[in-house]
A and B are shown apart, each in its own frame.
Chain A
């Protein structure tokens, strides 16, 4: 490679990177521009050309189908991810207390619990859908807010507990010990000392869970799906078309479904990314 001068090499480096970045952006670019097309644009332009006559007609057309699912997603996802993060963080602190203990049996127990939480986080949750549907049917939760909330809590508390237990592993042990010697109860220590010290971790866990829950398609598909009473990813799927569907409506629906997670990703993306890094590496590695 020595025959290339440094400027040529730097140029090639930028060029190759730029090509991949553009390829990666094309689908998102398509989502953003095509929702703004008029009916005339749809019949006369492909998906790569920006709208010649920008209009909001497609958004107006899909809004009546998506207003309720969007609101439902906000109602279900935001409170549930807050609750899941806090409950997971509490369990993670208990887990921290176990792992700093010197008793061997407790250490074995904490390894077992850690494996179970990891399994619950990563396993294909679709696998337990039959028993879960039956439980929810028996309890009268099927196709209710309660049913969607119960499923999300069930599947995302392990994620929160796993993430928080890795964020808490770096808690300075002497501060915790000092608080406990002072006779502060564990709950009190959790709220007064652990929570303030792990705020960035809590935000990461929260953001990660909001995005994951918001984007979940399978849970509402099976458990919360009667006409408009569903969550946004399922509602968008009904715009995939068949013959006669105009593509501006598909893209407008896709855009409406993605705007909240994308805005969170644009402004708070580093928290989401830190969540992902921690999920894979236990928090080591700084990007």
Chain B
């Protein structure tokens, strides 16, 4: 009897191992890569120091003291912060408009159009917008026909970054629209009906009933807009034809640039910093948000 029980126990363990081992092994590799970054970020490894020596925080200090790091980090913050602000506003506005569309089929079509940029490669989106920003045949052609002043878009250092920001708003706002609409649809229909019965207008219903009951939409839209925008790489890379354009560089692009120029330790220092920032957002979001929302079902 004992051996039979032992055998079924063994079988159960083997079964569980087969389920989880492939993912566990790959997760360990991924974790190893992150720790590898952490280890080498404390060395001075670069083209000039091919044998890494331990130097403490020197590589962090060197990487972070450059003008390029500061401008790329500011760009990342502006891109993420701006996208959180504008994306949330677009999300509220467009999801509000979609919520009051009567035909559910039409609503799905409109929603899909706002999300469509996310189904296309950001590299391809970059190629398309490069031509839309062309000074002769792009948006400027339209502006001139409408007797509006033409803008220099990507070709001037002062308008290049805002131009990229517009592309990011176009590409990522759909996320916020989706999560706000999901929140609005989750609001108790009887509240909306009651408001309608009381003769409360659409605008008031939106501000007094829909928005106050959609705190989850704010949290999710903000978290995901941050997480998606913080790793934007292809847009600045494609819009500026490589990793070197200082006015479009984001932190991950600068990190890649340091890697291509073989400042390995500095690149790993920035990589570690980027990972830590992402972790500071993801872990609370996963445990306090996702995990609890799943359980409530």
Residues of A within 8 A of B (CB): 1-2, 9, 13, 16-17, 20-21, 23-28, 30-31, 34, 45-48, 87-88, 90-91, 93-95, 97, 111, 114-120, 122-132, 135, 153-154, 157-158, 161, 165-166, 169-170, 183, 185-188, 190, 211, 214-218, 221-222, 232-234, 236-237, 239-242, 247, 250-251, 253-254, 257-258, 261-262, 264-266, 269-270, 272-273, 276-277, 279-287
Q: Which residue of A lies closest to B292 (CB)?
A: A282
Residues of A within 8 Å of B224, CB to CB, are 279-280
A280 touches B22 (CB 8 A): no
B30 touches A120 (CB 8 A): yes
Query: B86 contacts the other chain (Cβ, under 8 Å)?
Result: no
A117 to chain B, nearest CB (A): 7
Query: B185 contacts the other chain (Cβ, under 8 Å)?
Result: yes
Residues of A within 8 Å of B94, CB to CB, are 17, 20
Residues of A within 8 Å of B221, CB to CB, are 280
Query: B192 contacts the other chain (Cβ, under 8 Å)?
Result: no
Residue of B22, B34, B115, B130 ringed by the most chain A CB atoms within 10 A: B22
B116 touches A24 (CB 8 A): yes
Residues of B within 8 A of A (CB): 8, 11-12, 15-16, 18-20, 22-24, 26-27, 29-34, 36-37, 40, 94, 97-98, 100-101, 108, 110-132, 134, 136-138, 141-142, 170, 175, 178-179, 181-183, 185-186, 201-203, 216, 220-221, 223-224, 227, 230-231, 233-234, 237-238, 241, 252, 255-256, 259, 264, 267-268, 271-272, 274-275, 278-279, 281-283, 285-287, 289-297
B103 to chain A, nearest CB (A): 11
Residues of A within 8 Å of B294, CB to CB, are 165-166, 169, 282-283
Which residue of A125, A161, A166, A266 is within 8 Å of B23 (Cβ)? A161
Residues of A within 8 Å of B138, CB to CB, are 46-47
A28 touches B116 (CB 8 A): yes
A126 touches B231 (CB 8 A): yes
A124 touches B231 (CB 8 A): yes
Residues of B within 8 Å of A282, CB to CB, are 289-294
Known contacts A47-B134, A262-B119; is-contact A285 B279 (Cβ 8 Å): no
A276 touches B175 (CB 8 A): yes
- Beyond A47-B132, A187-B18, 4 extra complex contacts between A and B, CB < 8 Å: A30-B132, A129-B256, A286-B182, A287-B181
Known contacts A186-B19, A280-B179, A285-B186; is-contact A119 B278 (Cβ 8 Å): yes
**A–B complex contacts, Cβ < 8 Å, 8 sampled:** A47-B131, A126-B256, A132-B33, A183-B8, A217-B233, A217-B238, A266-B112, A285-B179
Q: Is the interface of A mostly helix, strand, loop or mixed?
A: helix
Which residue of A88, A122, A127, A166 is within 8 Å of B282 (Cβ)? A122
B283 touches A118 (CB 8 A): yes
Q: Which residue of B lies closest to A221 (CB)?
A: B237
B274 touches A284 (CB 8 A): no
Residues of B within 8 Å of A165, CB to CB, are 294
B296 touches A284 (CB 8 A): yes
B128 touches A30 (CB 8 A): yes
B101 touches A17 (CB 8 A): yes
Q: How far is the CA of A98 from the CA of B101 in the complex (A)?
A: 43
A253 touches B290 (CB 8 A): no
A254 touches B30 (CB 8 A): no
Residues of B within 8 Å of A153, CB to CB, are 26
Known contacts A88-B23, A215-B122; is-contact A9 B275 (Cβ 8 Å): no
Q: How far is the CA of A117 from the CA of B31 in the complex (A)?
A: 11
A2 touches B201 (CB 8 A): yes
A114 touches B291 (CB 8 A): yes
Q: Which residue of B lies closest to A285 (CB)?
A: B182
Residues of B within 8 Å of A187, CB to CB, are 15, 18-19
B33 touches A233 (CB 8 A): no
B220 touches A281 (CB 8 A): yes
A91 touches B24 (CB 8 A): yes
Q: How far is the CA of A126 from the CA of B37 in the complex (A)?
A: 12
